[in-house]
Structure 1
Amino acid sequence: MSMRRLLCLGAATIWPGYAAAQTPASVDSVVVTASRVGAAAASPYALAVIEGEPLAARQSVADALSGVADIHVQAPGGRSGVSSIFLRGADPNFTVVQLDGVPLTATTNSRGGAVNVSELDVAGIERVEVVAGPLSSLYGSGALAGVINLIVPGGAPDHRFTTSAALGSDQDYAVALGWRGPLAGSFGGSLTAAVSDDGSVYSGSKFRTWSVTGKAAADESPESARLVFKISRNRAHSFPDSSGGPRFATLTELETREGRETLVGLRAPIMELGRLRIVADAAYLARRDSVVTPGVAPSAFDDFGVPAGEDRSRYERLSAGLGARVNGGNWAGAAGLEAQVEDGRSDGFMDFFGFHMPTGFKLERTSLAAFAEVGRSAGGLDLNAGVRVDDPEGLEREVTARAGLRYAVTGAPLVLRASGGTGYKAPSFYALGNPFVGNPTLRPEKSRAAEASVEWTIAEGSVATLTVFHARYTDLIDFVPGPPPQLQNRKLVVSQGASAALTWALSPTLAAAIQATYADTQDDDTGEQLLSRPTWRTASSLSWRPHEALLLTARHSYVGPRKDYAIPVGPRRLDGYSVVSTDAALTIHPQTIARLSIDNVLDNDYEAAIGFPSPGLRARLAISQEF
């Protein structure tokens, strides 16, 4: 693939750049996700930040992430289905999704712990940070391909109350109530309660959720005291995965899913002595899931299909850590210890011609870890390196590392970056313990990746970036039909490619941006492209402010052809598709904003997965009022 081919594809996109939705990634805004050592050195890693109006105009985290070309979000049936995120072609469970640094992963689900980002509202989220590349040296198990961190807003100097309500053309709606303001002493906080309903993308599909999210923090620095929490509930009705959806499914009964989640994260500085600061962290996550599925009927492509059944799972994780940070001026270092206890259990069955085969399991795992990181800035050169040792119970000790450099060329508007690292993921409780397909001898999945980029500042507000990357994923856990059917370590997958981005300030009131990503993800043994992963993706936007009170945005995204599989029809190639959407935000009063969003303006008909129709044209009117 040539650089010329990549740039030509980007130039052919209908509207330049959705990257306008991604603000420039300043060191301070991403430090909690990309590094433990703070702003001692500018980050050498691939970063993206989504915040402000581009985030406020979306309903779910999946919607917001769809504007990042490095990420393909597969969301069959809108929010009613289980979404999958593919970061540079990596498996969905290779990217850790966090809420303010606390992972949302529950390893009892059948997707290896992958997080369904469609069920996450953007209400109560101030910004979304995306860091690509292996980050196990920072976060331990799971971060083979990257991290997505959802940042909850902190306090404000004065009390601010916000109400918002949205009504859509598909009988979808959303209501949120929020507060930000000062608390006792130097602490400030926020609290958001939200309810949303995604309407019906196809007959019978449903999705409803409510959540309460809050945060109390001394300030926004990474070592300040803070408390973050979230409670959420959701319920969905949709066709099962690989069923062929409403177009091809033989069984018309829908699957019902319910989820409940409770999360608490705490950070407390316990000692400060000169340039040394010691901080303690603790976090708790409890996840309850219930799935009642009609199954998927057998076909000429699958003699057995998927049996009907029920599953009720519970996952709890408690973690604690102690870290020390030393700031030496143009350098900083961090080191610490962490401990984690996981408890997962499942009660359920599969229905084989009236016989209920139990699928329940119960597992516990204790993991200990030690980490160290250092960052240094010298002239135009910034360096960062980190290492971590994880010792998960019942598995071999894992050592992961990463290093990167950033060089601002003297006398030229160029910045060069290069980085590399390793990652690992412990087998999920489902993969180890499920009595039907589980395998207690599974080994951890591992990754090794490197990337290099060049950034050229064309003019103030106009920046072009080109990045090349290469990643290898080994010991991938895959389903082997057998007999007997079982999950096994067997794959080596290689993902390589390039991404280009251009942010262009056309005038003080007009801004454009474009991203294009080419990611070739293949099974190394067969040379076959992995399912559900487009080779090409672009995302673009054009923002115009004709008046200080009005902001107009046009967005375009393109998803290239990709392979998919459904039991009724077997393997198929899905055509590429484009989606054009628009947003208009009108400030009626300094404290009152009206937003009109129209998704899929051209009403394009496409399939996110085989048999699942596109949501079609959807309009949504939202009003927010601050007091």
Structure 2
Amino acid sequence: MAPGQSVAPRAESITVIAEPVPADTLAGTHTILDREEIVRSGARDAAELLRFVAVVHLSQAGSKGSLSSVSIRAAKPNFTLVLIDGVPANDIGDLLGGAFNFATLSADEIERVDILRGPLSSIYGSEAVGGVISIVLRRPADGPVMRLSTEGGEFGYGSASGGLSRTWKRLGLSGDGGFSRMGQQVLDDGFASGDASLKADVSLGGSKHVQSFMRWNRLASTSFPVSSGGPAFAISRAIEHDRADQIVSGTNYQQQVGTRWFYTAGGDVFSRVAVNDTPAIFDRLPPGPSYVPSTASATRFMRWRVLTVQQVHPARWLSLYAVTAFRQENGTSVGNLAGYLPASYALSRPTFSFSGNGTVTKGKLAVTGGFGLEKSNTYHTVISPRVGGSYALAKTRLRASWGKGFKLPSFYALGSPLVGNPKLVPEFGTGFDAGVEREFAPAATKVSLTYFDNRYRDLVDFDPTVFRLVNDSHGYGRGLELEASAAVRRVRIGGEVSYLDAGLKETANRLRDVPRWSEQIRMSLPVTRAMGLDIATVWVGRRYDYQVPVPQYSTVGAYSITNAKLRWNLREGLEGTIRVENPFDRKYQEFVGFPSPGIYASAGLTYTRPRKATP
């Protein structure tokens, strides 16, 4: 369900739920954020966490609570497959075409994040063109017996959350829930979010195990529409309203049969119901050719899936992996354009998929290869191959991989009465990367350097001459990624640098919101025995942008932002925190006309009752 990739500088080891191919056998590029690093980051949600990871780019269309999506190596945000405990969580039924909103996931729930870069359709199928972000939730045995947390800050921010966990000899249960809200940050923007989850782990004796979970989230937000010019330039001062309810649920059965065969059988469901009301976007008064009419929509999307994962080890040097799955996707949208033009659709798509991978390990050399096969009712069978290899020499590891990926057209792209095109074909990607990883004994230093070259074709784009979405452009993204970390006693330091040369071919359009340079540095150090300080700074280079009322402003300036978190143990089980975001009050814009809210401070308390140590 949720595989990893190669070991990277961020963690010593990983554990993956029902992984089709173990992380240390694939020779790709992989970054891990473990629980300790998530806590040190001070992030409240997955969007805040990924903002300070330079090897991906987080795009936030407005203030906190706004749509927050992630792109990898110049791939579109909907080219990133997002897994929550192995369950695909991309909604292909809305206007975004499958991009995941990371603002909907609380950091308190996350045990680990695996960022896998490069095409991975050979394992995961459609949507894993640019990469995969696998989010592993905390299981009953991972967290404390009880957790209560509250926080308040500027802009009317307030949050409260809690969780209970209990484990017996064969059963583990946990439940979590929380609520947060924030008022106006810049102008007429704010959000309210609530979530709840239940998890169960059951041991059936021997090597048999069942895991199950269900998670619900609601996010309601207001902001200026994307491309409207924002608070600074929007001609219409009407505000966009969004509300979405999302449910992710999955159950799997795992069993080890002898010493050479391990299998998993399971099923999962992803459901999202969203209501959107977007006002008209004016290019001028009276409206000109770039005017965008208002839209109102209510969309429902559901995906259910059944699958089985087989892992066979016929010899010590040979491992074989196979995944067979069937999924059914159903989507409906009821809405209008400009208040009277119909904009509704109803589509369904059954899909069968199979992937097979093998790994040969001989001494210091490991070679892996495999393919994915997928057949849906909207397109013929697609085969996605992948090969890779790694060679370990002392504390140095060399690796390289090549693969293909694809993405089936979204329901919106196929079915929209206004711009949809039922003749769209899948978008394809090909990626190669090669890297070296090195460990140094002094200060437990780890360094990783990776070169990558990705190519994309048949990209879906809007053609104004026919007023339809068409497959008409090709793109590329190539560059370098450097990751490093070190630890000296209780001081930890790390950083990342990403250089990206990206663009489109055979079209006058440009890639929006893709920085050439991104850098990040983080530090965690003790102040006293009971107090610690965590600091992180990210630098983001200039990006191309387009806002309807001000097309002359085609680029957004580079910016840097720093976050600091002071934490101290007030007494056993009780921790206080003070967070300061943008303490230097940097003035910047992520998109033209959408200014940052400036410096922001908050304080909170967290009480935990730890689990008793097993004698």
TM-score bucket of the superposed structures, by smaller chain: over 0.9
Cα distance in structure 2, aligned partners of 1:158 and 1:71: 28
- Residue 60 of structure 1, aligned match among 19, 42, 45: 45
Q: How many residues align?
A: 594
- Residue 560 of structure 2, aligned match among 554, 573, 578: 578
Cα distance in structure 2, aligned partners of 1:331 and 1:222: 22
Secondary structure class of the residue paired with 1:396:
strand
1:145 matches 2:130 = yes
Aligned residue number for residue 317 of structure 1: 303
Range with bigger deviation, 555-564 or 81-90: 81-90
Residues 385, 404 of structure 1: 8 Å contact kept: yes
Cα distance in structure 1, aligned partners of 2:97 and 2:142: 43
Aligned residue number for residue 348 of structure 1: 335
1:49 matches 2:32 = yes
1:233 matches 2:230 = no
Which gives a bigger RCO, structure 1 or 2 (Cα 8 Å, sep 6+)? 1
Residues 77, 202 of structure 1: 8 Å contact kept: no
TM-score (norm 2): 0.92
Query: What displacement does 1:549 show?
Result: 2.3
Residues 148, 606 of structure 2: 8 Å contact kept: yes
Aligned residue number for residue 9 of structure 1: none
Secondary structure class of the residue paired with 2:227:
coil
Residues 28, 38 of structure 1: 8 Å contact kept: no
Aligned residue number for residue 15 of structure 1: none
Cα distance in structure 1, aligned partners of 2:66 and 2:139: 32
Query: What displacement does 1:77 show?
Result: 2.2
Secondary structure class of the residue paired with 1:430:
helix
Aligned residue number for residue 516 of structure 2: 535
Deviation track 1:364-391 (CA, whole Å, cap 9, x = no partner) reads: 1100011112223322222322211000
Secondary structure class of the residue paired with 1:65:
helix
The AA in structure 2 aligned to 1:422 is: K
Cα distance in structure 1, aligned partners of 2:328 and 2:504: 34
Aligned residue number for residue 306 of structure 1: 292
Aligned residue number for residue 545 of structure 1: 526
Cα distance in structure 2, aligned partners of 1:281 and 1:405: 30
Query: What displacement does 1:575 show?
Result: 0.7
Aligned residue number for residue 294 of structure 1: 279
Query: What displacement does 1:562 show?
Result: 0.8
The alpha-carbon distance between structure 1 residues 43 and 623, as it changes in their structure 2 partners (threshold 3 A), is: farther
TM-score (norm 1): 0.90
Unaligned runs of 5+ in 2: 1-7, 610-615
Cα distance in structure 2, aligned partners of 1:387 and 1:223: 29
- Provide the alpha-carbon RMSD of the alignment: 2.2
The AA in structure 1 aligned to 2:29 is: A
Residues 541, 555 of structure 1: 8 Å contact kept: yes
Secondary structure class of the residue paired with 1:126:
strand
1:471 matches 2:454 = yes
Residues 158, 182 of structure 1: 8 Å contact kept: no
The alpha-carbon distance between structure 1 residues 567 and 581, as it changes in their structure 2 partners (threshold 3 A), is: same
Residues 20, 309 of structure 2: 8 Å contact kept: no
Deviation track 1:24-71 (CA, whole Å, cap 9, x = no partner) reads: 344533x449x51336x4442211122335423111111100111111
Query: What displacement does 1:233 show?
Result: 1.1
The AA in structure 2 aligned to 1:111 is: L
The AA in structure 2 aligned to 1:176 is: S
1:437 matches 2:419 = yes
Residues 79, 119 of structure 1: 8 Å contact kept: no
Deviation track 1:266-295 (CA, whole Å, cap 9, x = no partner) reads: 111367355223321101111100001112
Aligned residue number for residue 201 of structure 1: 185
Query: What displacement does 1:424 show?
Result: 0.6
Residues 144, 608 of structure 2: 8 Å contact kept: no
Deviation track 1:218-240 (CA, whole Å, cap 9, x = no partner) reads: 48x99942112101111111111
Residues 270, 280 of structure 1: 8 Å contact kept: no
1:455 matches 2:437 = yes
Deviation track 1:79-124 (CA, whole Å, cap 9, x = no partner) reads: 2322231212211100011211111111111111111112322131
1:523 matches 2:504 = yes
Secondary structure class of the residue paired with 2:228:
coil
Cα distance in structure 2, aligned partners of 1:486 and 1:32: 41
Residues 208, 256 of structure 2: 8 Å contact kept: no
Cα distance in structure 2, aligned partners of 1:310 and 1:528: 27
Residues 245, 272 of structure 2: 8 Å contact kept: yes
Query: What displacement does 1:526 show?
Result: 5.1
The AA in structure 2 aligned to 1:480 is: D
The AA in structure 1 aligned to 2:293 is: P
Deviation track 1:450-501 (CA, whole Å, cap 9, x = no partner) reads: 101111222251112211000001110001112x310000111010000112
Query: What displacement does 1:330 show?
Result: 4.0
Cα distance in structure 1, aligned partners of 2:10 and 2:562: 24
Residues 104, 217 of structure 2: 8 Å contact kept: no
Cα distance in structure 2, aligned partners of 1:52 and 1:222: 26
The alpha-carbon distance between structure 1 residues 623 and 179, as it changes in their structure 2 partners (threshold 3 A), is: same
1:336 matches 2:340 = no
1:110 matches 2:95 = yes
Cα distance in structure 1, aligned partners of 2:95 and 2:399: 37
Residues 389, 397 of structure 1: 8 Å contact kept: yes
1:364 matches 2:348 = yes
Secondary structure class of the residue paired with 2:54:
coil
Cα distance in structure 1, aligned partners of 2:197 and 2:366: 36
Deviation track 1:547-579 (CA, whole Å, cap 9, x = no partner) reads: 332221121100001110000001511110011
Aligned residue number for residue 606 of structure 2: 624
Deviation track 1:474-533 (CA, whole Å, cap 9, x = no partner) reads: 110001112x3100001110100001122123x212222121100111112258751111
The AA in structure 1 aligned to 2:156 is: Q
Cα distance in structure 1, aligned partners of 2:392 and 2:404: 26
